Structure 1
């Protein structure tokens, strides 16, 4: 394997992919920030950026392996699997159990989604990343409004259940 591999992508393409992942991660992270959740703007940006960087790196490693030997076997999908496993671990870390409720599940899901957006940007699939981001914003903001209307009834019911248990 060469000691100084040449990049398959030029620096401008890499910057474009990483920049897109940061911008789209920020769009999703803003919702979590506005709602004062534990994983906010910076966390979502960093997860998207890391995911994109790992994806680009997997392409680069694949290309380097192919250049080193025509018989080389490399599987860039393994890097994507590893990234998603790490991102899922981070997302799970935002979920806590408070009494009978789980908190942070939406933030955990948004971190997982941002990982996918980062992978899409790292792979150069900007349209896919943009559509995923738009749908995430729709779910986080649009359905958030629905939850706020329905939520007070659910919270009153949960409070009655806690009162009945003596808690």
Structure 2
């Protein structure tokens, strides 16, 4: 008679090895993009999730034979879903007005789910989720770079001498490539030696605009002391 709690060492080895492969595939893409959590991190998360799922299913098989004991294989797995958040939070960075690492944190969460599915023997779902994750991380990233990312807003900070028509010159430099100024603020930061202006402006860059070239063009304006972009 088939015992659902019996340990099949071949399947256990297969699931652990498959977790290394599936987690490594997604981690390799993150490694190529130089993100905080790369190949080894994704492999370890996926492998650990699989091990927890296997432990839930087979680790307490001796107790399952007792009449007054009921086991819930999903109990440990649920802790992985809630507990993976601390690792994902470590990949999220907040610098100034920019937040990075959200996609990598999400990929870690998905890899944990793939590991759980693989540990439970849900091979088709684990492999399909891995494939769809790769499409989202790599293919859609290329689409975003080509059609969306170039049009995102960028914040510039410029320090310059208080000169007539300075704002008009800035608008001319930005407008020649199709960029548009969304917000603009001017603040006086004069010193004992010279009168300076601190100008903050938010720009929607055009598809063909290059931030480095835009910053360089602004630096060459008469009276400009410094230019930064984030």
TM-score for the superposition, normalised by structure 2 = 0.64
Show the counterpart of 2:143: 146
| Equivalent pair of 1:95/1:102 in contact (CA under 8 Å) | yes
Deviation at 1:62, TM superposition (A): 4.4
1:22 and 1:86 map into 2 onto residues whose CA distance is 20
* Count of residues in correspondence between the two structures: 158
Show the counterpart of 1:75: 72
1:64 and 1:132 map into 2 onto residues whose CA distance is 33
Instruction: Kindly provide the CA deviation profile for residues 78-124 of structure 1, in whole angstroms up to 9, marking residues without a partner as x.
Output: 10111112222211211111112210000000000000000011001
Point out where structure 2 has 5 or more consecutive residues left out of the alignment: 157-182, 184-198, 203-226
Point out where structure 1 has 5 or more consecutive residues left out of the alignment: 1-6
| Equivalent pair of 1:62/1:76 in contact (CA under 8 Å) | no
Structure 1 runs of 4+ with >4 Å offset: none
Higher helix share: 1
Instruction: Kindly provide the CA deviation profile for residues 24-82 of structure 1, in whole angstroms up to 9, marking residues without a partner as x.
Output: 00111111000000000000000000000000000013433212x11102222110111
Show the counterpart of 1:90: 87
| Equivalent pair of 1:62/1:75 in contact (CA under 8 Å) | no
Show the counterpart of 1:8: 6
Q: Report the structure number with the largest CA radius of gyration.
A: 2
CA RMSD after TM alignment = 2.0
Counterpart among 125, 128, 133 of residue 128 in structure 1: 125
Counterpart among 145, 154, 157 of residue 158 in structure 1: 154
Higher strand share: 2
Question: Higher RCO, 1 or 2 (CA under 8 Å, sep at least 6)?
Answer: 1
| Equivalent pair of 1:44/1:111 in contact (CA under 8 Å) | yes
Show the counterpart of 2:38: 40
Show the counterpart of 2:196: none
